[in-house]
């Protein structure tokens, strides 16, 4: 009896302590964040799972909801009509020729269009000496921009097409222009939030947004220790959840490794058509690929359909120029799948006038992520969307994922490259038809041809592609089996 009473008293005290600490923490956070800009204020559930001693179940926790408002928020938060400003640096290492500036401007406009309800009302390419100055523009240029916006009353915001504005730059511009200002980083974060549907994607997008939030917090001029502490706690939890997910992915990779099914990692600039191409090479469904930027944020694996060499194609997030390294660092767990691949396929959009610079950016990013040099050197480069342009770069295999052009040649190229990358050889196995050896070979090896043996009709001559590991396993399991080079 006394034991049960003591236990109930302990439980009541524990519950009261949790409620008290939770309530105090919430009160402190609300008071500390009351004077912050909207994008930095705490959303109501921010403390849940971070301050309490018992975090909520995984399925109840949305990291993006806890992180608060999306970048680029403000009046008309669900949509914006923007003036798009591209500061064109004229000098130094960041100098941009006019043609390159125009391409980046067009790319930014495409980013805006990928958000429902967002559109560009006006564009301005403005030459500047240094895009890192306090307001990016010179004083005369800033006055001209103010006047331009006065003639554009429908505008609800300004997109400054630079990699990332400092918090101070953003604050100064918003004060001068009296409109919300967003940079390329903030815009892409918002797109990521819109497209992130899986748990892994939402965790990684939240992790990518933390540096952005911290920089804006510093620029706000508010010494908000509670908010900084909450962001630190959130980062710890995000890292913990991502490590848990990475453990699950590691198990899947180990399963593929044990079954000796080779993996092809598919990479490319965003909207190059990676997902459509994978669909064409697997189940023939190209419709899951969408004509929008950053449509894929998850790693997905798909078994190749028609190839005689069984393999898995892995789809990953696309790359884009002029984005901070911290953005891709947040997706490092996802991109580890690439390092474990046996072969890379680099998909290039043939219809893009800037395709050479885009391809170089993808390779540079993969190097930055630490992929093995040998994996980069053996990558198969594929020009996609051949149906949209007559251009056929010399030495590049050109295909159309939607039209089917070049797909048989690509399948053959992948088989050849995978066989070389994994040490597979074409071998002939002689085994009794229907026997245990016969069944094992057909189950574990990749069949090329099969025919009745000319000298003994009870035997089959099975020509297969086999890895060194498969061959060793065959000889261990069936000593004396007849195996020869094809």
Calpha distance 289→47 (Å, rounded): 38
Produce one character per residue of 25-51: b if its CB has 16 or more CB atoms within 10 Å, e if not. Answer: bbeebeebbeebbebbbbeebbbbbbb
Please give the Cα distance from 296 to 277 (Å, whole number). 13
- What are the residues whose beta carbons fall under 8 Å from the beta carbon of 477, sequence distance 6 or more? 440
**Residue ranges of the domains in the chain?**
81-179, 260-420, 424-485
Residue 296 token pair = 């894929």
303 forms bridges with which residues in the sheet?
312
- pLDDT tens for 394-433 read 889 999 999 999 999 999 999 999 999 999 999 999 999 9
pLDDT at res. 334: 64
pLDDT at 379 over 90: yes
Q: Is the pLDDT of residue 28 over 50?
A: no
Q: Which of 346, 335, 336, 240 is nearest to 296 (CA)?
A: 335
Mean pLDDT is lowest, of 353-357, 365-369, 373-377, 443-447, for 365-369
CATH code assigned to 81-179: 3.40.50
Please determine, for residue 376, whether its predicted confidence score (pLDDT) is greater than 70. Answer: yes
Locate 292 and state its tokens: 């929008």
* Strand 312-315 to 300-303 pairing: antiparallel
**Tell me, what's the pLDDT at 252?**
62
Task: Measure CA of the first residue to CA of the last residue in the chain; give whole Å.
Answer: 81
Query: What is the C-alpha to C-alpha distance for residues 329 and 349, in angstroms, rounded to an integer?
Result: 24
Q: Is the dihedral of CA 70, 75, 80, 86 positive or negative?
A: negative
Superfamily of domain 260-420: P-loop containing nucleotide triphosphate hydrolases (3.40.50.300)
pLDDT (tens digit per residue) in 70-96: 665 543 456 789 999 999 988 767 788
Structure tokens at 45: 């559930």
Is residue 389 within 8 Å of 277, Cβ to Cβ? no
Structure tokens at 99: 């043609």
A 10 A CB-CB count for 229 gives 16
Q: What pTM did the predictor assign? A: 0.72
Q: What CATH code is assigned to 424-485?
A: 3.30.70
CA 19 vs. chain centroid, Å, equals 39
Going through 342-408 in order, the beta strands assigned E by DSSP cover: 343-349, 380-384, 397-398
Whether the Cβ atoms of residue 401 and residue 289 lie closer than 8 Å to each other: yes
- pLDDT: which is higher, 325 or 102: 102
Same topology between domain 260-420 and domain 424-485:
no
| pLDDT reading at 50 higher than 80 | no
pLDDT band at 144 (very low <50, low <70, confident <90, very high): very high
Among 117-126, 225-234, 409-418, which stretch is predicted with the lowest mean pLDDT?
Answer: 225-234
Query: Does pLDDT of 136 surpass 80?
Result: yes
Q: Are β-strands 81-89 and 119-128 bridged in parallel, bridged antiparallel, or unpaired?
A: parallel
Distance of CA 400 to the CA centre of its chain: 23
């Amino acid at each position: 009896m006394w034991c049960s009473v003591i236990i109930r008293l302990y439980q009541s005290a524990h519950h009261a302590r949790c409620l008290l600490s939770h309530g105090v923490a919430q009160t402190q956070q609300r008071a500390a964040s009351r004077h912050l800009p909207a994008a930095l204020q705490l959303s109501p559930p921010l403390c849940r799972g971070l301050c309490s001693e018992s975090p909520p179940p995984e399925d109840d926790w949305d990291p993006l909801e806890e992180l608060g408002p999306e970048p680029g928020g403000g009046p008309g938060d669900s949509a914006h009509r923007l003036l798009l400003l591209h500061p064109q640096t004229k000098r130094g290492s960041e100098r941009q020729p006019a043609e390159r500036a125009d391409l980046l401007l067009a790319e930014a406009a495409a980013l805006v269009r990928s958000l429902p309800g967002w559109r560009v009302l006006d564009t301005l390419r403005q030459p500047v000496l240094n895009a890192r100055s306090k307001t990016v523009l010179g004083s005369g240029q800033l006055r001209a921009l103010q006047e331009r916006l006065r003639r554009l009353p429908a505008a609800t915001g300004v997109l400054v097409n630079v990699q990332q504005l400092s918090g101070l730059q953003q604050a100064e511009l918003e004060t001068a222009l009296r409109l919300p200002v967003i940079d390329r980083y903030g815009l892409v974060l918002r797109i990521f939030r819109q497209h992130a549907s899986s748990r892994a994607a939402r965790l990684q997008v939240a992790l990518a947004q933390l540096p952005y939030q911290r920089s804006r917090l510093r620029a706000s001029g508010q010494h908000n220790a509670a908010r900084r502490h909450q962001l630190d706690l959130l980062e710890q939890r995000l890292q913990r959840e991502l490590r848990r997910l990475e453990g699950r992915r590691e198990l899947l990779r180990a399963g593929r490794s044990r079954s000796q099914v080779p993996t092809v990692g598919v990479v490319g600039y965003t909207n190059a058509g990676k997902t459509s191409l994978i669909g064409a090479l697997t189940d023939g469904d190209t419709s899951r690929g969408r004509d929008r930027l950053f449509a894929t944020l998850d790693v997905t694996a798909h078994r190749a359909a028609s190839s005689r060499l069984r393999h898995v194609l892995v789809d990953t997030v696309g790359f884009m120029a002029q984005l901070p390294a911290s953005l891709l660092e947040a997706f490092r767990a996802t991109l580890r799948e690439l390092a474990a691949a046996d072969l890379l396929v680099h998909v290039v959009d043939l219809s893009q006038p800037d395709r050479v610079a885009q391809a170089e950016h993808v390779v540079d990013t993969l190097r930055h992520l630490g992929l093995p040099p040998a994996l980069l050197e053996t990558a198969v480069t594929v020009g996609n969307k051949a149906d949209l342009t007559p251009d056929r770069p010399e030495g590049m295999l050109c295909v159309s994922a939607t039209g089917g052009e070049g797909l048989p040649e690509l399948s053959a190229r992948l088989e050849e490259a995978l066989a070389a990358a994994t040490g597979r050889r074409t071998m002939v196995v002689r085994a009794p038809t229907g026997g245990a050896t016969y069944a094992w070979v057909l189950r574990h090896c990749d069949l090329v041809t099969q025919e009745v043996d000319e000298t003994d009709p009870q035997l089959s001559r099975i020509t297969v592609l086999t890895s060194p590991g498969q061959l060793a396993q065959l000889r261990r399991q069936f000593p004396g089996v007849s195996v020869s080079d094809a």
